[in-house]
């Protein structure tokens, strides 16, 4: 009798097992890993900072401004190192080949990179100033990089750079602007073209959005400005020319949306 009772209980437990298993909660399947594809067009914005340490060097005619430079009356060199912020937009196209990537990017930034310097002569009442500005900066660059793991891109870049540069110089006789060398100003400005090279990193934090940080060295060439003092007591043909180069260090951060 006891054996029959035990056998009946075992059979009941066995028959009820499927019902109990059906009542247990099912474990959800794991979420699929996000797919990061770099191939395609993208568009975004950036902000950054630019700086340089370029001098303005001066030359003058031998008998007038040149004599003033040689005797320390006026400046032979000024150091208006320029710094400032910039910001704008960029757009480009990437093509991913395995763990490698090639692409092209264009950008345009408004900038306020500027610097000025002043010279006061110790043996006279002359003052000289020089100011350098970059009010816009754009590039058109190729990019090439690799993906150490898929969301992270490390790249090098280089190509065309262009921007609006300006150089202004003044020469002032503090005693009386109508006497001696007078008070004269000259400037030169316009769009300058050059080249750029650099590198950076970009992190795709969702399948459509990425953050980037990059460094660019930008060379926008040279600019000169010349003034003369048309005061009758001075010898004719006088000139005072300041020359400088625009070679900038640019650090930027940005965000991109990938189509």
Question: Which domains are delineated in the chain?
Answer: 39-258 (2.40.160.20)
pLDDT > 80? residue 77: yes
* 127 against 203, higher pLDDT: 203
Q: 26 falls in which pLDDT band (50, 70, 90)?
A: low
- Each residue's pLDDT tens digit, 219-242: 999 999 999 876 555 567 789 999
List 194's β-bridge partners, or say none.
161
Per residue in 139-186, pLDDT tens?
Answer: 999 999 999 988 999 999 999 999 999 999 998 877 666 554 568 899
Which band of pLDDT confidence, cut at 50, 70 and 90, is reported for residue 13? very low
Please return the burial class of 171, using the count of CB atoms within 10 Å of its CB with bins 0-12, 13-18 and 19+: buried
Is residue 105 pLDDT above 90, yes or no?
yes
CA–CA distance, 108 with 252 (Å, rounded to integer): 12
Maximum Cα interatomic distance, the chain, rounded to a whole number of Å: 140
pTM of structure: 0.83
134 phi/psi in degrees, rounded to 5: -130, 115
Confidence grade of residue 33 (pLDDT, cut at 50, 70, 90): low
């Amino acid at each position: 009798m006891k054996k029959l009772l035990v056998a009946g209980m075992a059979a009941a437990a066995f028959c009820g097992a499927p019902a109990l298993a059906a009542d247990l909660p099912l474990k959800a399947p794991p979420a699929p890993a996000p797919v990061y594809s770099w191939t395609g067009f993208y568009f975004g914005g950036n902000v950054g900072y630019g700086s340089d340490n370029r001098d303005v060097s001066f030359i003058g005619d031998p008998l007038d401004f040149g004599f003033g430079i040689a005797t320390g009356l006026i400046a032979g060199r000024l150091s208006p190192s320029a710094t400032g912020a910039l910001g704008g937009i960029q757009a480009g196209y990437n093509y991913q080949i395995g763990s490698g990537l090639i692409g092209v990017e264009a950008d345009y930034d408004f900038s306020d990179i500027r610097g000025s310097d002043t010279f006061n002569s110790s043996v006279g009442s002359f003052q000289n100033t020089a100011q350098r500005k970059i009010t816009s900066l754009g590039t058109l660059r190729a990019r090439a990089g690799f993906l150490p793991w898929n969301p992270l891109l490390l790249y090098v870049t280089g190509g065309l750079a262009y921007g609006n540069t300006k150089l202004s110089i003044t020469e002032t006789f503090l005693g009386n602007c109508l006497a001696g060398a007078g008070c004269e100003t000259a400037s030169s400005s316009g769009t300058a073209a050059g080249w750029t090279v650099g590198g950076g990193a970009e992190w795709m934090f969702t399948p459509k959005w990425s953050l980037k940080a990059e460094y660019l060295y930008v060379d926008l060439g040279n600019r000169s400005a010349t003034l003369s003092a048309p005061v009758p007591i001075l010898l004719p043909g006088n000139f005072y020319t300041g020359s400088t180069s625009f070679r900038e260090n640019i650090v930027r951060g940005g965000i991109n949306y990938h189509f």
